Amino acid sequence: MAETALPGPGGGPDFESWACPLPLRDYPRVVLGHGGGGALSEELVRHLFVPAFGNPALDALGDASLVDVPAGRLALSTDGFVVRPLVFPGGSIGELAVNGTVNDLAMRGATPLYLTAGFVIEEGLAMSVLGTVVARMAAAAAAAGVQIVAGDTKVVERGHGDSLYVTTTGVGVVPSGLPPIGPAQARPGDKVLLSGSIGDHGIAVMSVRESLAFETAIVSDCAALHGLVGCILHDDGRIRVLRDPTRGGLAATLNEIATASAVGIVIDERRVPVKPEVRGACDLLGLDPWHVANEGKCVAVVAADAAAEVLAAWRAHPLGRDAAIIGEVEAGRPGLVATRTSLGATRVVPMPLGELLPRIC
Amino acid sequence: MRYLDEFRDGDLARRLADDITRIVTRPWAIMEVCGGQTHAIIRNGIDQILPPEIELIHGPGCPVCVTPLEVIDQAIAIAARPGVIFCSFGDMLRVPGSSRDLFQVKSEGGDVRVVYSPLDAVRLAQAHPEREVVFFAIGFETTAPANAMAVHVARQHGVRNFSMLVSHVLVPPAIAAIMTAPRNRVQAFLAAGHVCAVMGLRGYPALAERFHVPIVVTGFEPLDVLEGIRRAVRQLEAGEARVENAYARVVTDEGNTAAQRMLAEVFEVSDRAWRGIGTIPGSGWRLADAYREFDAAIRFDVGGIRTAESPLCRSGEVLQGALKPNECPAFGTTCTPRTPLGATMVSGEGACAAYYHYGRFRAAAPTA
Ligand code: SF4
């Protein structure tokens, strides 16, 4: 957290024992002063962030945190989170900020170790909301076994931000012996696996958007995936690609892999798990579930002779119970993703253009 | 939802396709009028499992595609005004006007918002009495009742800062226009089920008789579409030309009479320009005189905006089935979903975009 030394004993007022006529701790909303680097900032850090994320590296409140790193290659990733609303069925911006970065590390085969977190807060955000987000971040970090070891808080004037943005940076370690895992490693003949049903996160968030509230039992699939990845990692090179299909959904992820590896990918549409409620909501909104975001699913491209093993390992894992082999990699038509439809026809799965735009009818 | 799955069953679909193969004796050109059906056809590859004798022509039934360029320009002009909150369904935002689209207006500071119901726009107007809230009312008979209702509600609640830019189109006059076009090749129509759910079968028997053309009211799931095609082929082979309702689980003869009353109250039939096709007499709705005060084109004085289409774009011929999208010289070169020249390339349901996305590699469909 932004570090400001407290005036020590005998060196000016001692804020800890001084009774302020306007108790600092009782601001119901974030005010500009919480980002000003003074007493209010200090207060926020000491009474909100440090207790929530508490660990020796953070508690030291130094300009930088010192942490131990095991042998191997460092994996680094950073990501900004701007989701609305801040809290949605099955998660919040807090869980997303932790799991999103943990997953980015996991997709390279890294064991996530440490996170840093930056908060850009709009003046006026209810302190209780910030508290909830921070508590959920802490819980997600604990569940993922990572420590939040440094951070920063800025407050922007009302109207100059959208209540709260969170940026997390993650550090992990890839064991030295692990062959490269990445989007460019897919080879013809490989199998494509998906760890579970798609579209849950995007539909859960949309279901509570102000302009779009509709009833659904769908909750976000937001989860840290390094456990799911860890149980299939091998140093024999048979795991080629790991990707979490977030924004742009499954369609974007498959297209990225096909392009990066210069291979074709053919998916059997019937094998891609989509919950009936998600499909129903997508039908209603004119959206394609293959374009909707996920926050707790993994696509793996693996050597054909590893597919059964990976499938079994995933199905035995709580986050992979609905895992399926959904298709294969082929040499023809590099960069192209195609799918066999339930009618037995074949069509191209295009890269989604950008925003999800519900159709008019 | 299990119900829906039944209408997507692959085995049943193939049985229907086999049926069609059995009864067909010569080539037939069938137009699905509605963009939703085009979407179902392309997305599921229905055209690939049909016998080669059946040619499907993608009709003008995508509301985004047929909204004239000048109406888009009018929308952009209104949306760019300070003090305006411009509300639209999502898929209109990316349709290019003559120089920019609504997304660009938004990025330049215009208050452009995606809404999911016109009533949301009325509520916005109530919440922001100091602003002018405008709703972009486009679409076929399907979306019109809700739009009519929104105007009605605005009047009832005295919401004076709400108005609509109306560009509604009607299906039956379009069918007549297609049948009388000099290069017409269409021999049967799949009519849009959801349009008929509102309007009933009104107007269709007269069309079937006048042009001696089978019209089958059809739904949107793969099996619905295949069943519609099967019934159309059966009529064609027997030399018949009737209106058949293959979507009886949703469509009744009379349609939704309450919605029809609301439409008659708020709208009146008018001539309407269709993008790429031109003006079709009696093919649209505008606000009735009693509701003119809610007409955004009048309130913001944009009626004078007139724009010509790109001379390269041949979407008019595409929409009438006279030209396949991939036969357009601009297809896939100067015109792509990223750089669309015509609206049929912008909307995911537009025939050109559908061909571009899904049909591009069909000839070399993987065999794996
Ligand atoms: S391909 Fe493009 S230019 Fe050609 S008709 Fe279609 S939209 Fe118009």
Strongest mean pLDDT among A200-209, A306-315, B8-17, B63-72: A306-315
Taking an 8 Å cut-off on Cβ atoms, the answer to whether A358 and B368 are in contact is no
Look at residue A286 in the predicted model and tell me its pLDDT: 80
Chain A residue with minimal CA distance to B11? Answer: A343
Q: Is residue A227 very low, low, confident or very high in pLDDT (cuts 50, 70, 90)? A: very high
Q: Three-state SS across chain B?
A: CHHHHHCCCHHHHHHHHHHHHHHCCCCEEEEEEEHHHHHHHHHHCHHHHCCCCEEEEEEEECHHHHCCHHHHHHHHHHHCCCCEEEEECHHHCCCCCCCCCHHHHHHCCCEEEECCCHHHHHHHHHHCCCCEEEEEEEECCCCHHHHHHHHHHHHHCCCCCEEEEEEEECHHHHHHHHHHCCCCCCCEEEEEHHHHHHHCCCCHHHHHHHHCCCEEEECCCHHHHHHHHHHHHHHHHHCCCCEEECCCCCCCCCCCHHHHHHHHHHEEEEEEEECCCEEEEEEEEEECHHHHHHEHHHHCCCCCCCCCCCCCCCHHHHHCCCCCHHHCCCECCCECCCCCCCHHHHCCCCHHHHHHHHHCCHHHCCCC
Look at residue A94 in the predicted model and tell me its pLDDT: 96
Contact yes or no for A49/A137 (Cβ under 8 A):
no
Whole-model pTM: value is 0.86
A353 CA → ligand 1 middle, Å: 18
Report whether residue B96 contacts ligand 1, using a CB cutoff of 6 Å: no
Q: Mean of the pLDDT values across residues A59-70?
A: 88
Q: Mean of the pLDDT values across residues A226-243?
A: 94
Residues of B in contact with A356 (CB under 8 A): 90
Look at residue A357 in the predicted model and tell me its pLDDT: 63
Q: Is residue B287 very low, low, confident or very high in pLDDT (cuts 50, 70, 90)? A: very high
Q: Is residue B278 very low, low, confident or very high in pLDDT (cuts 50, 70, 90)? A: confident
User: Residue B331 above 90 pLDDT?
Assistant: yes
Residues above pLDDT 90, as percent of chain A: 67
Distance CA B267, CA B144 (A): 9
Look at residue A342 in the predicted model and tell me its pLDDT: 87
Residues of A in contact with B139 (CB under 8 A): 360-361
The shortest C-alpha distance from B365 to chain A (Å) reads 6
Q: Which of A21-25, A170-174, A340-344, B256-260 has the lowest mean pLDDT?
A: A21-25
Compare CB distances from A338 to B36, B42, B366 and report the shortest one's residue: B366
Taking the Cβ of residue A209 and every Cβ of chain B, the question of whether any pair is shorter than 8 Å is answered with no
Orientation of helix B144-156 relative to helix B257-266, angle to 10° = 60
Q: Which amino acid appears at position B143 of this protein? A: T
Look at residue A356 in the predicted model and tell me its pLDDT: 67
Q: Mean of the pLDDT values across residues A99-126?
A: 96
Compare CB distances from A343 to B10, B361, B366 and report the shortest one's residue: B10
Look at residue B322 in the predicted model and tell me its pLDDT: 82
Look at residue B11 in the predicted model and tell me its pLDDT: 87
Residues 33-52 of chain B with CB under 8 A from chain A are 35-36, 42-49
Distance CA A213, CA B116 (A): 10
Taking an 8 Å cut-off on Cβ atoms, the answer to whether B364 and A332 are in contact is yes
Q: Which of A228-232, A255-259, B156-160, B335-339 has the lowest mean pLDDT?
A: B335-339
Atom of ligand 1 nearest to the CA of B318: 5
Look at residue A22 in the predicted model and tell me its pLDDT: 42
Taking an 8 Å cut-off on Cβ atoms, the answer to whether B44 and A341 are in contact is yes
pLDDT tens digits, B62-103: 888 888 889 999 999 999 999 999 999 887 887 888 888 899
Q: Is residue B339 very low, low, confident or very high in pLDDT (cuts 50, 70, 90)? A: confident
The shortest C-alpha distance from A327 to chain B (Å) reads 10
**Ligand 1 pocket: which of B64, B94, B274, B318 to mutate (most atoms within 8 A of CB):** B318
User: Residue A250 above 60 pLDDT?
Assistant: yes
Q: Mean of the pLDDT values across residues B43-59?
A: 91
Report whether residue B167 contacts ligand 1, using a CB cutoff of 6 Å: no
**Ligand 1 pocket: which of B315, B326, B357 to mutate (most atoms within 8 A of CB):** B315
Taking an 8 Å cut-off on Cβ atoms, the answer to whether A350 and B64 are in contact is no
B274 CA → ligand 1 middle, Å: 15
Distance CA B67, CA B96 (A): 11
Look at residue B62 in the predicted model and tell me its pLDDT: 80
Atom of ligand 1 nearest to the CA of B344: 7
Atom of ligand 1 nearest to the CA of B317: 5
The shortest C-alpha distance from A352 to chain B (Å) reads 10
Q: Quickly list H helices, chain A.
A: 39-44, 50-53, 56-59, 93-106, 127-144, 200-206, 226-230, 249-261, 276-285, 307-315
Taking an 8 Å cut-off on Cβ atoms, the answer to whether A344 and B138 are in contact is no
Residues of B in contact with A270 (CB under 8 A): 10
Taking an 8 Å cut-off on Cβ atoms, the answer to whether A345 and B45 are in contact is yes
Report chain A's mean pLDDT, rounded to a whole number.
88
Phi, psi of B150 (to 5 degrees): -60, -45
Look at residue B19 in the predicted model and tell me its pLDDT: 96
B238 CA → ligand 1 middle, Å: 36
